[in-house]
């Protein structure tokens, strides 16, 4: 019976960890002024929760309890270290004074949004800002971030460590910039939020296609940012994520298998999210200042309004991709445009464009390029070429549902 009770409380603490640990960490980083100290305090706070909550009961506000516990654990640790380092005693005293203000309830902005702007501070190296934010704000593993950036885990880890040291040594403030500073800091923040959403919408690796906690977090952060800065690109990003997320229930079968867009049951798409996304797209374009997220949201809106894949306005989608490619040339944008061309003009036309991209060498390590080629070859009846392309895609995939989908396609070719 005692074992069952311990298991019950451990599950409750783990649920709080999953839902609130990033919020608690963001606040501890701001209050303690040090990433490593905050991470240690977070760990200590949850150990204390495992020990005390079964005895005392769940606190009314678990997040505030964990912040306070983590803060005082950090102060205690610094006091112990003060016997060997006087600077640690001074830091402990400063933190203890600040703790009183926090206990009395200061008017705090959302600390994760504050932390994002800190991680994306222009004083940090550009190649470290996004990995640091994904690691600290969203708890992505170093390996996951490395895969998203087509880099090695060691390289990403080194960038994150150096960025933390820079924040500490340069005393970069944990605050949302002023309205005057905000626009120039916005691009990286939007990029970070979208990368977080993409990791949730289509996980880079693992057993599941989606991580709804990450996509929901990205949408929540975008809403907060829109309240702070009603910019057309913020509207565009929020619209884009809502329109993509509206398909979530249709993107997998009941047992977690991947379902492509043209095969999805559109009756289960979230119409409330689509309606909100369409309004945001209209508002963003009304500003007459077109950006990359607005254009991507407009493409998603065309898909959302189509009754099925065949009756999608592919002419409009190709036109939007043309504008997007002129605004921000990218091989991935070109690949998506090629797929749209295949739907508009036929598989042969699309295959010619995909082949040109692969021959240029820019997408050889991108599994979706090989998967697109395989699908077009399959549609054209070129089974041998399709098989080779599917196998190339399979060699690059790290996500189980996508792997199983490609394996099914290969079996279908054999049948």
Contact 313, 347 (CB under 8 A): no
Q: Write down the pTM of the prediction.
A: 0.76
> Which one is predicted more confidently, 257 or 212?
257
Percent of all residues in the chain with a pLDDT value above 90, rounded to a whole number: 50
Distance CA 365, CA 414 (A): 25
> Which CATH number, 1.10.3260.10, 1.10.3470.10, 1.25.40.10, 2.160.20.60, labels domain 319-415?
1.25.40.10
- Per-residue pLDDT for 268 more than 90? yes
Per-residue confidence (pLDDT) for residue 107, from 0 to 100: 40
> Which one is predicted more confidently, 159 or 36?
159
> Which one is predicted more confidently, 293 or 114?
293
Q: Token pair of 222, please?
A: 């975008």
Interacting residues of 211 by C-beta distance below 8 A, sequence separation 6+: 199, 200, 203
Using DSSP's 3-state secondary structure scheme, residue 399 falls into strand
For the stretch 1-5, contacts whose Cβ atoms lie closer than 8 Å and that sit 24 or more positions apart, written own/partner, are 5/54
Per-residue confidence (pLDDT) for residue 8, from 0 to 100: 81
Ranges 55-69, 172-186, 363-377: which has the least confidence: 172-186
Contact 354, 336 (CB under 8 A): no
Residue 336 banded pLDDT, cuts 50, 70, 90 = very high
pLDDT in tens, 287-306: 888 999 999 999 999 999 99
Interacting residues of 389 by C-beta distance below 8 A, sequence separation 6+: 370, 371, 373, 374, 377
pLDDT in tens, 348-388: 999 999 999 999 988 999 999 999 999 999 999 999 999 99
pLDDT mean across residues, the chain: 87
Q: Token pair of 146, please?
A: 């490395």
Per-residue confidence (pLDDT) for residue 334, from 0 to 100: 97
Ranges 61-65, 102-106, 328-332: which has the least confidence: 102-106
CA angle 56, 58, 62 (to 5 degrees): 125
């Amino acid at each position: 019976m005692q074992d069952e009770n311990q298991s019950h409380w451990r599950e409750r603490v783990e649920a709080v960890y999953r839902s609130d640990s990033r919020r608690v960490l963001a606040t501890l980083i701001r209050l303690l002024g040090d990433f490593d100290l905050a991470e240690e305090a977070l760990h200590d706070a949850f150990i204390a929760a495992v020990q005390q909550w079964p005895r005392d009961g769940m606190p009314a506000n678990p997040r505030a309890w964990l912040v306070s516990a983590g803060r005082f654990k950090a102060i205690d640790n610094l006091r112990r270290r003060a016997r060997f380092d006087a600077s640690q005693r001074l830091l402990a005293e400063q933190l203890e004074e600040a703790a009183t203000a926090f206990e009395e309830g200061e008017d705090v902005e959302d600390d994760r949004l504050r932390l994002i702007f800190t991680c994306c501070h222009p004083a940090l190296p550009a190649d470290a800002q996004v990995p640091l934010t994904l690691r600290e704000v969203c708890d992505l593993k170093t390996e996951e971030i490395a895969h998203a950036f087509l880099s090695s885990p060691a390289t990403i880890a080194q960038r994150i460590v150096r960025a933390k040291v820079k924040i500490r040594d340069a005393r970069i403030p944990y605050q949302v910039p002023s309205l005057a500073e905000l626009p120039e800091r916005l691009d990286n923040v939007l990029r970070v939020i979208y990368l977080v959403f993409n990791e949730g919408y289509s996980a880079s690796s693992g057993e599941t296609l989606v991580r709804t906690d990450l996509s929901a977090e990205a949408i929540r952060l975008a809403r907060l940012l829109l309240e702070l800065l009603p910019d057309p690109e913020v509207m565009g990003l929020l619209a884009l994520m809502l329109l993509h997320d509206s398909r979530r229930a249709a993107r997998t079968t009941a047992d977690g298998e991947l379902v492509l867009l043209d095969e999805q049951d559109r009756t289960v798409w979230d119409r409330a999210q689509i309606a909100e996304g369409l309004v945001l797209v209209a508002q963003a374009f009304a500003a007459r200042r077109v950006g990359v997220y607005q254009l991507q949201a407009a493409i998603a809106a065309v898909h959302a309004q189509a009754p099925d894949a065949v009756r999608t306005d592919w002419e409009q989608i190709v036109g939007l991709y043309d504008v997007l490619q002129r605004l921000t040339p990218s091989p991935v944008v070109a690949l998506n445009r090629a797929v749209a061309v295949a739907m508009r003009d036929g598989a042969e036309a699309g295959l010619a464009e995909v082949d040109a991209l692969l021959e240029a060498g820019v997408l050889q390590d991108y599994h979706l390029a090989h998967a697109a080629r395989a699908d077009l070859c399959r549609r054209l009846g070129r089974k041998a070429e399709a098989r080779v392309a599917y196998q190339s895609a399979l060699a690059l995939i790290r996500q189980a549902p996508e792997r199983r989908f490609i394996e099914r396609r290969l079996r279908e070719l054999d049948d």
